[in-house]
Amino acid sequence: MCGIVGYAGARPALSIVLDGLRRLEYRGYDSAGVAIVGAGAGSGSLLICKRAGKLANLEKALAEESAGEDSPLAGIDSGTTGIGHTRWATHGAPTDRNAHPHPSRHGDLAVIHNGIIENFARLRAELEADSVEFRSDTDTECAAHLLERELAGVRAEIAARGGDGLDAEVRAEALAEAMRRVCRRLEGAFTLLAVDAATPDVVVGARRNSPLVVGRGQGENFLASDVAAFVEHTRDAIELGQDQVVLITPERIEITDFDGKPAAGKDFHVDWDAKAAEKGGYDWFMLKEIQEQPQAVAETLLGRLTESGEIMLDEVRLTDQDLRAADKIFIVACGTAYHAGLVAKYAIEHWTRIPCEVELASEFRYRDPVLDRSTLVVVISQSGETMDTLMALRHAKEQKARVLAICNTNGSTIPRESDAVLYTHGGPEIAVASTKAFLTQLVACYLIGLHLAQVRGVKFADEVAAVVAQLQEMPAKLRTLLDRMEPVRELARELKSVPTVLFIGRHVGYPVALEGALKLKELAYIHAEGFASGELKHGPIAVIDRGTPVVCIVPSPAGRGLLHDKMISNIQEVRARGARTIVIAEEGDEAVLPYADHVIFVPPTPTLLAPLVTTVPLQVLAAEIASARGHDVDQPRNLAKSVTVE
Ligand code: G6P
């Protein structure tokens, strides 16, 4: 979703802001823009440039409009204060005029925004009644006009008190106060940043229900929706709390609540560097992230088992007694994270014997789920900012349920509001479609299942250690598997023009089928659906035609022989109706060969852990089909990495 960057320092802001936006591109966007406080001849003015489409369009416009002394944006590359935005359209189409920043009526102020201002219609009517002419269809523009009005009011009050309206600190504080007044009037979710031509060296930001972090530099400070935007300049960050306003100058960072009371953010150190967020020789981030999975799984497992054999979470604001008292578990998440939850249900119920339901976060709170203090709600979110998941979490907490988060992003909102957290140490995931985050979420779910089983006394330390040892073998298995993906790539090229692909599986293979279908839809824009194999005969089998590709996820024949045999029967059923079968099976499982048009073997893995390997060929298949079709693998159309609206 929208990416936000702000800079106040001594270096040219434009290039820093553009670099930051580039690092946030992965979030998905459809237009981009910058506002730089003019320097030198341009001082006292605000230089704004914005364009629909990719950053390249903005850069082209900047180059054209800043060349020559008389050009409209002359000097934009020397200003040292600025803001930039990549927009994912909510109110109004992705056009130049709807792109951010939005200037105020007199053009001295500009605002960028992520989120949705829910009372914007009322505010717009009020402003229009005050003769403000709107130049866009966005909700954001209201904030720009309101800020101008409030700032005029604050300055008038300062003048009336006899204050020095020209003093830089007084002006900066006036801008922050005006922002606080605006925020008090807004409903909904927002991160806002503003710059003012008459207050050079200052960027003011605010947040409610939407992320904003501060980067603390030497003689320069940053604001951004995510640390990736400034991590190449500083790894010292401050996470802002809910309903806070922040003012940065090159030397100062001042945080208050919306009423002006001084507040403190939470300092943290980013434990990865800018390199981790670069492509490292791969054509696409997604391909790099697929290859990083062995490492990501290993990191997530690192140091989880104490000497006495207990599983360690990262942050626990719950007692073991709370966990023992849990009589029901809900796992709540969206997209790929939801599929991780579906897998987790099999492991958690099997290991803990506690009933476990998995629910889409966007549905959860609206159906009035039965929750109380003995319900444990596990929320899974790579970004930690997904609004549907956050709202589900808040609903669960209002009902007094305990909430445990699985998250990949330190300091994000979801873990902060949860009672306990297990961080997946997957490193930054840039591609919109989730891959390594999924595998690490699976690992985290297994660890939580084991932890609960242990706390409740249904698994002993040695049993837990045995499963952890199996998990520890996974990075090596994944490495072997990833080295054997060439046939999958070849198959992808053959399949690049098919209109539809079906995925079938049983038990934990069923969520893997759903995830395989989701990946293909997201990346290749091909119709794809995942089914529980046993359900095929109740309807979906009707769509199978001669040559329809069906990807079949076969469980290991070891341990659960019956499950394996039933799956083989299902493959025969689709083959008999003309399907082209692509079978994912365990090495040595020769029983599948007579029914498989293509076989992809994965290393032998205990049934419950098998999704860690069976998912990988499906990721590669989707990425390669997308690339063969000429799509942008990292930023599929219409999608966003971090979905901060409901
Ligand atoms: C978006 C992304 C998906 C992701 C989902 C949940 O829709 O495109 O890849 O699975 O959000 O994201 P989260 O950050 O909460 O895991």
* Active site (catalytic) residues: 2, 641
What is the CA(286)–ligand 1 centre distance, in A?
14
What is the CA(150)–ligand 1 centre distance, in A?
37
Helix ranges, 25-101 (H): 55-66
Whether residue 538 contacts residue 585, with contact meaning beta carbons closer than 8 Å, is answered with no
| Residue among 225, 290, 383 whose CB has most ligand 1 atoms within 8 A, to mutate | 383
Provide the sign of the torsion angle of the four alpha carbons 379, 382, 384, 387, taken in this order. negative
Q: 55 Cβ partners below 8 Å, 6+ apart? A: 18, 21, 22, 25, 32, 86
Locate the ligand 1 atom nearest the alpha carbon of residue 414 and give its number.
15
Q: What mean pLDDT do residues 89-106 have?
A: 90
How many whole angstroms separate alpha carbon 432 and alpha carbon 427?
14
Q: What mean pLDDT do residues 38-55 have?
A: 86
How many residues in total does the chain contain?
646
Q: What mean pLDDT do residues 66-77 have?
A: 85
Amino acid 42: pLDDT: 64
469-520 residue pLDDT tens? 999 999 999 999 999 999 999 999 999 999 999 999 999 999 999 999 999 9
pLDDT over 70 at 32, yes or no? yes
Amino acid 417: pLDDT: 93
Amino acid 280: pLDDT: 72
Coil, strand or helix at 545: coil
pLDDT over 90 at 8, yes or no? yes
Q: Which two tokens stand for residue 174?
A: 């006036």
Residues with CB under 6 A from ligand 1: 334-337, 381-383, 386, 389, 432-434, 639, 641-643
| Residue among 382, 414, 514, 637 whose CB has most ligand 1 atoms within 8 A, to mutate | 382
Percent of the chain with pLDDT over 90: 79
Percent of the chain with pLDDT over 70: 99
Average pLDDT across the chain, whole number: 93
Residue of higher predicted confidence among 373 and 67? 373
How many whole angstroms separate alpha carbon 353 and alpha carbon 443?
19
Read out DSSP for 467-525?
HHHHHHTHHHHHHHHHTT-HHHHHHHHHHTT-SEEEEEESTTHHHHHHHHHHHHHHHH-
pLDDT over 80 at 40, yes or no? no
Amino acid 326: pLDDT: 95
How many whole angstroms separate alpha carbon 516 and alpha carbon 614?
10
Ligand 1 atom 8, closest CA:
641
How many whole angstroms separate alpha carbon 388 and alpha carbon 243?
19
How many whole angstroms separate alpha carbon 16 and alpha carbon 219?
14
Coil, strand or helix at 184: helix
At residue 444 the predicted structure's pLDDT band, cuts being 50, 70 and 90, is very high
Provide the sign of the torsion angle of the four alpha carbons 68, 73, 77, 80, taken in this order. positive
| Residue among 27, 210, 225, 334 whose CB has most ligand 1 atoms within 8 A, to mutate | 334
250-298 residue pLDDT tens? 999 999 999 999 999 889 888 777 777 777 778 899 999 999 999 999 9
- Distances from the Cα of 56 to the Cα of 30, 61, 83, 634, angstroms: 12, 9, 17, 16
Amino acid 643: pLDDT: 86
What is the CA(367)–ligand 1 centre distance, in A?
22
525-566 residue pLDDT tens? 999 999 999 999 999 999 999 999 999 999 999 877 789 999
How many CA atoms, within 13 angstroms, populate the side-chain half-sphere of residue 516? 34
pLDDT over 70 at 400, yes or no? yes
Ligand 1 atom 2, closest CA:
641
pTM (predicted TM-score): 0.78
Amino acid 26: pLDDT: 72
Whether residue 533 contacts residue 507, with contact meaning beta carbons closer than 8 Å, is answered with no
**Torsions phi, psi of 346, nearest 5?**
-60, -45
Determine how many CB atoms are found less than 10 A away from the CB of residue 224.
Answer: 29
Q: What is the dihedral of CA 29, 48, 36, 119, to 10 degrees?
A: -60
pLDDT over 90 at 309, yes or no? no
401-420 residue pLDDT tens? 999 999 998 778 899 899 99
How many whole angstroms separate alpha carbon 283 and alpha carbon 189?
35
Locate the ligand 1 atom nearest the alpha carbon of residue 432 and give its number.
8
111-165 residue pLDDT tens? 999 988 889 999 999 999 999 999 999 999 999 999 999 999 999 999 999 888 7
How many Å separate Cα 279 from the centre of its chain? Answer: 18
Ligand 1 atom 4, closest CA:
335
Q: Which residue in the block uniquely carries the two structure tokens 């779910």?
A: 445
Amino acid 163: pLDDT: 83
Q: What is the dihedral of CA 155, 160, 162, 167, to 10 degrees?
A: 0
Amino acid 282: pLDDT: 87
